[in-house]
Amino acid sequence: MNARTEITKKFATAYKAASKADKSVLLDQLCEVTGWSRDNARRRLSHAAHPRRIAATRQRSRKYSFDALKVLQRVWSLSGGQCGKYLVVSLPVLLDQ
């Protein structure tokens, strides 16, 4: 599998700069070497020519403090693990006790 990736990377640079007729020839050669279908080879060449950048994910700020989170977890477990929709309605009843 590694050999196919290396071959695809080599073909990708030529494929990106080639004309339509030359791309057809390159696809034929790649299909012959790897055994892929033309559609799969075309898809992999275009993906290898334009690698996507992975954006750094940002950490979401905390909505509740640590103490409030612990209280909410305790109330949730005492309510029998209700979903949020029903927990909101039952919170006033649970907190009055």
Give the contacts of 67 (CB within 8 A, at least 6 positions apart): none
1 pLDDT tier (thresholds 50, 70, 90): low
- State the pLDDT at residue 24: 92
Q: Is there a contact between 15 and 38 (Cβ–Cβ < 8 Å)?
A: no
Mapped onto helix, strand or coil, the DSSP state of residue 75 is helix
Distance CA 70, CA 66 (A): 6
97 pLDDT tier (thresholds 50, 70, 90): low
Give the contacts of 48 (CB within 8 A, at least 6 positions apart): 8, 9, 11, 12
Q: What is the pLDDT of residues 57-85, one digit of tens each?
A: 888 888 889 999 998 898 889 888 889 89
C-alpha dihedral, 77 to 79 to 81 to 84, nearest 10°: -120
What residue spans define the domains of the chain? 2-49, 66-96
Q: Which CA distances in Å does 71 have to 3, 7, 54, 74?
A: 56, 57, 37, 5
pTM of the model: 0.50
Q: What percent of the chain has pLDDT over 70?
A: 98
